[in-house]
């Protein structure tokens, strides 16, 4: 019965957080669209679409792998997370270098090229967040 209660609680929290994050995303898109205007929002969307290809490459499936490995009994969590963090940092640094260079070959306006550089730099910081998320998710997936 305790496991069923834990599962129900986790499903409820997960569903609530998904609903809340979707609502906040819709509100923020409304504000961003109004603030940037048509051309600015188009540039913003172009930057995000361009970098989404690189984000998929930067992940390398590390979230799933690290969650699975940490969930195993007797796993050395510190060693696993150290390796994952190092691999994620290396892939993020590669993205920071590759995305702006590849973006130069596209006929984008200067604002989009500058946006690519700024958002590519954010990958280094967001990669650390995903590593921590895998650590927190591992006990839940091991139920």
Residue identified by tokens 């200067």 is: 110
pLDDT for 109 equals 96
Residue 50's CB is within 10 A of a number of other CB atoms, namely: 20
- Could you tell me the CA-to-CA distances from 2 to 5, 111, 137 in Å, in that order? 5, 54, 19
The 10s digit of each residue's pLDDT in 20-63 is 999 999 999 999 999 999 999 999 999 999 998 888 887 778 87
Q: What is the mean pLDDT of residues 110-123?
A: 92
Calpha distance 135→143 (Å, rounded)? 14
77: part of which helix (H) or strand (E)?
Answer: helix 77-103
Cα–Cα distance for residue pair 29/41, rounded to 1 Å: 9
SS3 60: coil
% pLDDT > 90, the chain: 43
Q: How much of the chain, in percent, has pLDDT values that exceed 70? A: 89
Q: Could you tell me which of 106, 103, 59 has the C-alpha nearest to residue 84?
A: 59
Between 78 and 101, where is the model more confident? 101
Query: What confidence score (pLDDT) does residue 82 get?
Result: 86
């Amino acid at each position: 019965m305790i496991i069923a209660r834990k599962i129900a609680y986790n499903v409820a929290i997960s569903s609530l957080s998904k609903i809340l994050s979707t609502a906040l995303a819709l509100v923020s898109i409304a504000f961003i669209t109004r603030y940037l205007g048509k051309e600015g929002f188009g540039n913003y969307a172009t930057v995000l679409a361009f970098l989404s290809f690189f984000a998929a490459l930067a992940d390398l499936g590390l979230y799933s792998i690290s969650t699975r490995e940490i969930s195993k009994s007797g796993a050395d969590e510190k060693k696993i997370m150290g390796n994952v963090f190092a691999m994620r940092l290396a892939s993020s640094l590669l993205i920071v270098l590759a995305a702006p260079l590849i973006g130069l070959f596209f006929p984008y306006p200067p604002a989009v090229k500058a946006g690519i550089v700024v958002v590519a730099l954010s990958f280094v910081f967001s990669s650390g967040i995903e590593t921590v998320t895998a650590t927190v998710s591992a006990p839940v997936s091991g139920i």
